[in-house]
């Protein structure tokens, strides 16, 4: 397991290089990159509740998702990217009537989950990304057409 | 084969923390965003985000409190007041960028399927923890549920620092 205490500038650069640098003027890319970079700068107890720094692997997995989304060319809203209390990362979007996102777990297993709470339909679901990929794709599509 | 129903290692202190109890959840600046109020002026208001309602890890909860699993720290308002402390004095230890969200014990029990175990410490007799009754730790959907309850009630103490305001 990679300890985030030993993150170096090179590790930060690795994360940054995952984003399409040619789109430097893309406000979405700038915001996402800034949030990812900020995650790597978080120290232990960053939330005042004793949470560890986000693990590099979780940050890289989140970066991979965001890179894939950007490469679709679709106009996704800017997500909120945060650490979790276990060293993972969440990428989430919130609209007037729903919240949807992904969690990239810490540790060697690094479980990836997806979740959605939709007050317009009354549906709420959460589970492994592999098992919920269809629902995740639908929720992502709705982010674009119903921001 | 039917899955065994999850049995939480926590206890739900319904008598000590009755349903009408107000619970205070301290919200650090990482877990709210200053957003325009939408009332036609430039005033910024702090909006919760759901990450502010996540559990501490089971490891940290055991390390800090000797507790048996992941859970979320709160303060029970009536116990805080009975011990002669004010929410403002508690927040003063953290600075003006922290605020208190409020939750009603009965609502989070009924609507988010959480329990509340009183966990007083020498430093803080009003300390309690909110735990999931369904699984070993809150899911993101539970965090959203709690965030929505907190939003309906509004801040108990709003953070006082907005960007550029000192």
Q: Is residue B76 over pLDDT 80?
A: yes
Q: Which residue has the higher pLDDT, A123 or B1?
A: A123
Query: What per-residue confidence (pLDDT) applies to B166?
Result: 42
- ipTM at complex level: 0.90
Q: Which residue has the higher pLDDT, A61 or A13?
A: A61
Q: How far is Cα of residue A24 from the mean position of the Cα atoms in its chain?
A: 19
* Chain B residue at shortest CA distance from A94: B49
The helix/strand/coil state of B77 is helix
Which among B124, B116, B94 has a CA at the least distance from the CA of B21? B116
For the segment A15-62, what is each residue's pLDDT rounded down to a tens digit?
Answer: 555 555 555 448 898 899 899 999 999 999 999 999 999 999 999 999
Query: Does B56 contact A at CB distance below 8 Å?
Result: yes
Of B57, B132, B140, which to mutate for an interface test with A (greatest number of A Cβ within 10 Å)? B140
Query: Cβ B94–A48 below 8 Å, yes or no?
Result: yes
Out of B33, B56, B141, the one facing A49 most closely (by C-beta) is B56
Query: Cβ A82–B49 below 8 Å, yes or no?
Result: yes
For the segment A83-125, what is each residue's pLDDT rounded down to a tens digit?
Answer: 999 999 999 999 989 999 999 998 877 789 999 999 998 999 9
Query: What per-residue confidence (pLDDT) applies to A18?
Result: 56
Contacts of A121 in chain B (CB under 8 A): none
Contacts of B113 in chain A (CB under 8 A): none
Q: How far is A126 from chain B (nearest CA, A)?
A: 7
Distance CA A78, CA B128 (A): 35
Query: What per-residue confidence (pLDDT) applies to B121?
Result: 96
pLDDT tier, B40 (very low <50, low <70, confident <90, very high otherwise): confident
Q: How far is B140 from chain A (nearest CA, A)?
A: 7
Q: Where are the alpha helices (DSSP H) in chain A?
A: 9-17, 27-41, 56-71, 133-145
């Amino acid at each position: 397991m990679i300890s985030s205490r030993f993150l170096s500038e090179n590790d930060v650069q690795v994360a940054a290089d995952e984003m399409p640098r040619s789109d430097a003027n893309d406000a979405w890319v700038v915001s996402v990159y800034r949030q990812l970079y900020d995650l790597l700068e978080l120290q232990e107890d960053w939330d005042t509740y004793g949470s560890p720094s986000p693990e590099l692997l979780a940050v890289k997995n989140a970066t991979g998702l965001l890179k894939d989304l950007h490469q679709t060319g679709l106009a996704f809203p800017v997500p909120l990217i945060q650490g979790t209390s276990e060293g993972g990362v969440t990428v989430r979007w919130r609209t007037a009537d729903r919240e949807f996102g992904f969690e990239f777990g810490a540790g060697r297993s690094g479980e990836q989950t997806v979740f959605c709470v939709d007050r317009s339909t009354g549906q709420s679901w959460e589970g492994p990304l592999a098992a919920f990929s269809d629902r995740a794709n639908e929720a992502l599509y709705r982010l674009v057409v119903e921001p | 084969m039917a899955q065994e129903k999850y049995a939480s290692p926590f206890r739900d202190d319904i008598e000590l923390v009755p349903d009408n109890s107000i619970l205070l959840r301290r919200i650090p600046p990482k877990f709210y965003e200053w957003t325009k109020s939408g009332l036609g002026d430039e005033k910024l208001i702090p909006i919760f985000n759901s990450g502010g309602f996540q559990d501490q890890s089971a490891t940290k909860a055991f390390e800090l409190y000797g507790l048996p699993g992941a859970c979320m720290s709160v303060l029970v308002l009536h116990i805080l007041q009975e011990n002669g402390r004010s929410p403002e004095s508690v927040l003063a230890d953290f600075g003006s960028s922290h605020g208190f969200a409020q939750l009603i014990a009965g609502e989070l029990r009924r609507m988010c399927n959480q329990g509340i175990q009183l966990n007083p410490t020498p430093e803080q007799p009003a300390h309690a923890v909110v735990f999931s009754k369904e699984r070993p730790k809150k899911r993101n959907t539970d965090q959203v549920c709690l965030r929505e309850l907190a939003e309906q009630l509004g801040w108990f103490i709003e953070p006082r620092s907005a960007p550029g305001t000192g």
